[in-house]
C-alpha cells in the first residue's frame, strides 16, 4: 500500500487553534452579560458588546463552522433568558442565518439540514422570551423560518454553482487532454507512416536485387538509412516537445539553473518549403510526383497552416505509395489571398482494392487537421480512376496599416 503522509500542525497553528476555541467558548458568557451591561442598561454599549461577542466566534468559524454555530446558538439562548430588548438579539439571529448559509454552501445536506433545524429551534425558543402575545410570536417564528430558508437556499445555490464550475473545469481539462492526445497521434502518425512506407518498399527492392544488382541494393540501403535518420530526428523533436514541462522550467528558473536540454535536433517544423525533399523520398519509393504551384508567393504562411498543408501532402503521398499501384501522381498548391488549396491526385486503378476511403487513421487525421483550422477536406476515388484529395485551408486576412492623412 502506498505510504500516506499526514501534515503535522506547527506550534503557531496549535496555539492559534487553542485561542480560537477559548474565544469561542467565552462567547456565550460575553453575550449573556453583554445584553445587560452598562450604566442605565445603555443600548449602544450592549450592541457593542454583542458585536464583540459574535466577533469572538470568527476564528473558530473558519476552522469548525459547525462548532461555531452551536456556540452561537447557546449564547443566543443564554442571552434570551434575560429577556433583553428585541433589537439586541437581531445580530445573533442574523449571524446564525449567515452560519447556516455558510454550512449549506460548504457542507453536504446531511450536515446543513440538521444545522438549519437546530438554528430554527434555538431562534424560536429565543423568541419565546423576546416577544409578547401569540400573534407576534407566530409572526416572528414564520419570519425566522423564512430567513433561515432563504439563507439555506442561497448557500445551496452557491454550492451548486461552485460544483458546476468545477465540473466545467474538469470537462475542459479532459477535452484538452483528448485534443492533445489526438494531436500527438496525428503528428506521430504523419512522422512515421511515410517513412515506414518508404523503408518497406526500399527493403523489398534491396532484398530482390541484392544478388543480381549489388549497386541498386546499396542505393536502397542508403535510402533506408537516410529515411530512418530523418524519422528518428522527427521523433526526437516530437518527444522533446512533449517532455518539456512548464513546471520544470519554472523550478529551474527559481533555482537559477539551466534547463537540461535533450540532444534532439532543434530543426523547425516542416512546411511546404520542404516539398522537394518529400518528393525525393517518394521518388525513392517508386512514385514520381509532379508539383505545381499556382498563385503568387504572397506573404509567409502561418506556421500551423504551413505544417498542416505539408502533413496532408505527406499523408496523401504515403497512401499513393502504399495503395494506389501507380508510378506517378500530381500535387497542386494553389494560394490565393484568403485560402490555401492543396490537391493530390493519382491515376491508379478505377477501384483499388485497398483504397483508403476512410479506414485507418490517415484520412481521419487529415480531416481533423483541416477542421481544426476551419478548412474543408474531401477525399475519395475519382470517376475515371485513381484517388483525389483536396484540402482548403483559410488564410488570415492581412492587417491594414494606419491610415495616413
pLDDT value, residue 357: 44
Secondary structure element (H or E) that encloses residue 45, with its range: helix 43-55
Domain boundary residue among 130, 163, 194? 130
CB neighbourhood size of 94 (10 A): 13
Can you tell me the distance from the alpha carbon of 269 to that of 254, in angstroms, rounded to the nearest whole number? 30
Q: Tell me the three cell numbers of residue 11.
A: 506550534
Residue 19 lies in a domain: yes
Per the confidence metrics, is the pTM higher than 0.75?
A: no
pLDDT value, residue 399: 60
Residue 401 lies in a domain: no
Task: Quick: pLDDT tens for 80-114.
Answer: 888 877 777 888 888 888 889 888 888 888 888 98
Residue 105 lies in a domain: yes
Residue 85 lies in a domain: yes
Nearest to 329 by CA among 271, 389, 272: 389
Can you tell me the distance from the alpha carbon of 334 to that of 310, in angstroms, rounded to the nearest whole number? 13
Residue 172 lies in a domain: no
Q: Taking residues 174-199, what's their average pLDDT?
A: 74
Q: What are phi and psi of 22, to 5 degrees?
A: -65, -45
Max Cα–Cα distance, the chain, nearest Å? 122
Looking at residue 302, which CATH number applies to its domain?
3.30.565.10
* Cβ burial, residue 216 (10 Å; 0-12/13-18/19+): middle
Residue 245 lies in a domain: no
Q: What are phi and psi of 87, to 5 degrees?
A: -65, -15
Can you tell me the distance from the alpha carbon of 143 to that of 126, in angstroms, rounded to the nearest whole number? 13
Domain boundary residue among 92, 115, 130? 130
Could you tell me the CA-to-CA distances from 140 to 78, 124, 132, 302 in Å, in that order?
Answer: 19, 8, 10, 70
Residue numbers of the domain that contains 384: 272-396
Q: Is the pLDDT higher at 185 or at 62?
A: 62
Can you tell me the distance from the alpha carbon of 400 to that of 392, in angstroms, rounded to the nearest whole number? 24
pLDDT value, residue 330: 92
Domain count, the chain: 2
Domain boundary residue among 130, 149, 184? 130
Residue 256 lies in a domain: no
Triad 195, 200, 202: Cα angle to 5°: 95
Residue 231 lies in a domain: no
Task: Quick: pLDDT tens for 137-184.
Answer: 888 889 888 989 998 899 899 999 998 988 988 888 888 777 777 777
pLDDT at 34 over 80: no
Amino acid at each position: 500500500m502506498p505510504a500516506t503522509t499526514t501534515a503535522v500542525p506547527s506550534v503557531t497553528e496549535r496555539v492559534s487553534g487553542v485561542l480560537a476555541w477559548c474565544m469561542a467558548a467565552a462567547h456565550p458568557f460575553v453575550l449573556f452579560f453583554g445584553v445587560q451591561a452598562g450604566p442605565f442598561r445603555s443600548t449602544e454599549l450592549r450592541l457593542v458588546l454583542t458585536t464583540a461577542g459574535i466577533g469572538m466566534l470568527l476564528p473558530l468559524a473558519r476552522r469548525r463552522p459547525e462548532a461555531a454555530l452551536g456556540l452561537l446558538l447557546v449564547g443566543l439562548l443564554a442571552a434570551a433568558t434575560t429577556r433583553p430588548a428585541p433589537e439586541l438579539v437581531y445580530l445573533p439571529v442574523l449571524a446564525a442565518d449567515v452560519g447556516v448559509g455558510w454550512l449549506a454552501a460548504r457542507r453536504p445536506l446531511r450536515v446543513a439540514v440538521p444545522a438549519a433545524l437546530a438554528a430554527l429551534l434555538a431562534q424560536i425558543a429565543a423568541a419565546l422570551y423576546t416577544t409578547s402575545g401569540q400573534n407576534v410570536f407566530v409572526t416572528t417564528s414564520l419570519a425566522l423560518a423564512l430567513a433561515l430558508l432563504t439563507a439555506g437556499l442561497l448557500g445551496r445555490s452557491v454550492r451548486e454553482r461552485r460544483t458546476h464550475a468545477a465540473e466545467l473545469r474538469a470537462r475542459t481539462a479532459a477535452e484538452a487532454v483528448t485534443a492533445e492526445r489526438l494531436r500527438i497521434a496525428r503528428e506521430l502518425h504523419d512522422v512515421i507512416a511515410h517513412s515506414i512506407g518508404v523503408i518497406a518498399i526500399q527493403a523489398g527492392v534491396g532484398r530482390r536485387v541484392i544478388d543480381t544488382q549489388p549497386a541498386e541494393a546499396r542505393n536502397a540501403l542508403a535510402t533506408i538509412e537516410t529515411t530512418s535518420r530523418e524519422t528518428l530526428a522527427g521523433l526526437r523533436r516530437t518527444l522533446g516537445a512533449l517532455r518539456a514541462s512548464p513546471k520544470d522550467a519554472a523550478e529551474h528558473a527559481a533555482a537559477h539553473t539551466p534547463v537540461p536540454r535533450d540532444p534532439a535536433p532543434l530543426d523547425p517544423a516542416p512546411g511546404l518549403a520542404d516539398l522537394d525533399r518529400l518528393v525525393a523520398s517518394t521518388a525513392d519509393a517508386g512514385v514520381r510526383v509532379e508539383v505545381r504551384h499556382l498563385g503568387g508567393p504572397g506573404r509567409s504562411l502561418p506556421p500551423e497552416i504551413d505544417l498542416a498543408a505539408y502533413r496532408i501532402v505527406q499523408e496523401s503521398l504515403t497512401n499513393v505509395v502504399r495503395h494506389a499501384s501507380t508510378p506517378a501522381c500530381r500535387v497542386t498548391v494553389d494560394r490565393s489571398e484568403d485560402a490555401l488549396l492543396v490537391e493530390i491526385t493519382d491515376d491508379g486503378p478505377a477501384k483499388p482494392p485497398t483504397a483508403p476511403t476512410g479506414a485507418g487513421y490517415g484520412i481521419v487525421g487529415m480531416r481533423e487537421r483541416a477542421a481544426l483550422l476551419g478548412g474543408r477536406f474531401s477525399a475519395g476515388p475519382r470517376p475515371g480512376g485513381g484517388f483525389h484529395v483536396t484540402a482548403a485551408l483559410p488564410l488570415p486576412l492581412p492587417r491594414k496599416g494606419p491610415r495616413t492623412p
